[in-house]
Amino acid sequence: MHTTDKLKTGFFQKEIKISFSKFFLACMIYLVLPIVIFFIGYLKIWWAILFSVLTVGSAAWAYLDIAKKKPGTALAEEEKSVTIKASYFLWLIPFALFFLYLGGVGEFGWAIGDHRVRYATLNDLINYKWPVIYDFSTQQNPVVAETLGEGKVAFAYYFVFWMVPAIFGKLFGLLTARIVLLIWSAIGLILVTLGALILYGKQSRFLFIGIILFAGFDVFPYLFNEYVRGFGATWEDWTWHFRVVGNFYQLMNVFHQSIPGWLITILLLLCTNSKSIGLLGSLMFCYSPWAAIGILPMCICKIVVTNRKLKAKEVLKNLFTIGNLVAPVVFIVCFATFYTANSNATYDYGFIWTFYESKPTMLIDYLAYVVFEFGLWVLLIHKKYKKDWMFWCAFITMLIIPIYKMSGPNDLLMRGSMAPLFAICLYAVMFVNDSFNEMMEKGNRKVKPRLIVLTLLVAAYTSFNFMLTSTLLTSMTYMKLEPEADIKTGIESFGNINDEQYIVMVQAQFYVYDYENNVFFKYLAK
């Protein structure tokens, strides 16, 4: 029997049913494991044991609550699930790895400049004892050494996503860690896809591609700025203060925030009660404090939606649970003190209108942001989801979140929009997927589904550009074990900065001065 015949009749044609409860368990393992590693590696032993037990206990309680099917509960009536063929993974796994490779994860191919920081982060988590402390005496660049002077600083950043690869790196070296980082990211992206399939209710290859390609309609303001106004815009950064980016660019830039962020957003959309909303929202805080701000309104909305028809006693019972109370307290105590240890990380903050010389200019930028980044999508799909509270919550959050700006590139908007924008992405891609399936029906010549699919392709203009750029630049050198010189030698380690041009950025974003008197390092850290 030929190999193709075996694939058609053998194991890979077996159907696999993935229920929400099983998916939730897999996600909890994926999201909680790095946090527990952080606790054990960074905290005093009693805090490490206490926080690990409380975190694992909260996740286990949440899973058991979701898995049980008592009469009268939503899950007793019907648990969301999807049935897919085993052969689906033959397609999904290599494509997930391929897109992450193109995005520069692990720095095996071409990567954007921010990967200087990504490479240095993993490198230092491997080569330094935890908690990571830098002694300025190790700086070999004389300009860097003279600028920094003497003393020690701690390393603080949201690097939880790197904890599993870092463990492998400590055991087997940096190359192994980079390979594990690529695989770990692929596992997360596969889980995101499976969650999207459960939300959609059936197997689809197009759904995965649609998620990767999803973006705003940046092509229109880009072309206008480039050829009409003539000020040299870039594909995604056509407005500085109202910046949000497409999914592929998220993977290229902040995969360590976007992959867990997307996963948590899907879990929130799939939840049928409010007993674990606190767990999900606070999990987002561990991976991205910016994204946690954006998911908060959606968490509140989910609580309202799932409890609006219940009596007060039942509402209180759903709110005061282990999942809603224990994990948030643990994560806030630990990660809030850790992230705020560096008070210099946030700069250029204030209401958005204070950054404009004229209000008309600000209003034009804001309207362009609303229309092209998500408004056209909402206009296209709103009839189908007009009764979905979470859809409207995501839309309203996107309208409100730009009011206040934090950091020069406005991280509050770029990362804070992660959850609501990805929710809109899921709604849009499912809508386009229906049109794609309709278009592919034999004998179907309708124009409407073709136009809807074309809409996604137009929005994917920036993603295609980044993919093409990465493919061309990577193909020039083929796959290599060492990252590009620019990525490796720009910083390489925050404890030994190679290029002095990065001093100010590293000081502002990663160094904690006077860490001995900081709450986290004084009372919680080893």
The per-residue pLDDT for 394 is 97
Share of the chain above pLDDT 90, in %: 65
Distances (CA, A) of 390 to 87, 262, 271, 291, 365: 33, 15, 11, 16, 26
For the beta carbon of residue 41, count every other beta carbon within 10 angstroms: 18
Which tokens go with 441?
């029906």
For the beta carbon of residue 364, count every other beta carbon within 10 angstroms: 13
Calpha distance 59→51 (Å, rounded): 12
Backbone angles phi, psi at 350, to 5 degrees: 155, 175
Mean pLDDT of 215-222: 87
- What end-to-end distance do the CA atoms of the chain give, in Å? 60
For 476-488, give the secondary structure using H, E and C.
CCCCCCCCCHHHH
Domain boundaries, the chain: 17-524
Task: Report CA dihedral (416, 421, 422, 427) to the nearest 10 degrees.
Answer: 160
User: What SS3 class is residue 247?
Assistant: helix
Calpha distance 420→406 (Å, rounded): 18
Mean pLDDT of 311-326: 90
Residue, of 479 and 379, whose pLDDT is higher? 379
- pLDDT of 476 > 90? The answer is no
- pLDDT of 234 > 70? The answer is no
Residue, of 99 and 410, whose pLDDT is higher? 99
Task: Report CA dihedral (70, 73, 78, 83) to the nearest 10 degrees.
Answer: -70
Share of the chain above pLDDT 70, in %: 92
Between vectors from CA 57 to CA 52 and to CA 58, what angle results, nearest 5°?
Answer: 105
* pLDDT band, residue 2 (cuts 50/70/90): low
The per-residue pLDDT for 94 is 96
The per-residue pLDDT for 55 is 97
Residue, of 482 and 37, whose pLDDT is higher? 37
The per-residue pLDDT for 74 is 43
Do residues 513 and 153 lie in contact, with contact meaning Cβ atoms separated by under 8 Å? Answer: yes
DSSP string, 103-160: TTTTSSS---TTHHHHHHHHHHHHHSPSSPEEEGGG--SHHHHHHH-S-EEEE-S--G
Non-local CB neighbours of 111 within 8 Å, separated by 6+ positions: 103, 104, 118, 252, 483, 484, 487
Calpha distance 231→220 (Å, rounded): 15
The string of pLDDT tens digits covering residues 26-83 is 999 999 999 999 999 999 999 999 999 999 999 999 999 988 855 444 444 467 999 9
- pLDDT of 233 > 60? The answer is no
The per-residue pLDDT for 72 is 43
The per-residue pLDDT for 59 is 96
The string of pLDDT tens digits covering residues 175-201 is 999 999 999 999 999 999 999 999 999
- pLDDT of 418 > 80? The answer is yes
Beta strands 404-405; 350-351: pairing state: antiparallel
The per-residue pLDDT for 327 is 93
Calpha distance 361→187 (Å, rounded): 43
Instruction: Kindly report which listed range (87-91, 101-105, 348-352, 405-409) carries the lowest average pLDDT score.
Output: 405-409
Calpha distance 130→172 (Å, rounded): 17
Give the highest mean pLDDT range of 304-313, 328-337, 435-444, 464-473: 328-337
- pLDDT of 206 > 70? The answer is yes
Residue whose entry in the numeric block shows the structure tokens 């200019």: 361
DSSP string, 304-344: HHHHTTS-HHHHHHHHSSHHHHHHHHHHIIIIIHHHTT-TT
Which tokens go with 216?
């705003």
Which tokens go with 259?
């992959």
Mean pLDDT taken over the chain: 89
432 membership: H or E segment, kind and range = helix 418-440
Do residues 17 and 260 lie in contact, with contact meaning Cβ atoms separated by under 8 Å? Answer: no
Calpha distance 119→138 (Å, rounded): 19
- pLDDT of 409 > 80? The answer is no
The type of residue at 236 is E
Mean pLDDT of 394-423: 90
Q: What is the C-alpha R_g of the chain? A: 23
Mean pLDDT of 362-388: 93
- pLDDT of 393 > 90? The answer is yes
- Nearest Cα neighbor of 497 from 178, 120, 128 is 120
Which tokens go with 493?
């380690």
Residue, of 410 and 335, whose pLDDT is higher? 335
Peptide bond into 131 cis (omega under 30): yes
Calpha distance 8→63 (Å, rounded): 35
The per-residue pLDDT for 449 is 82
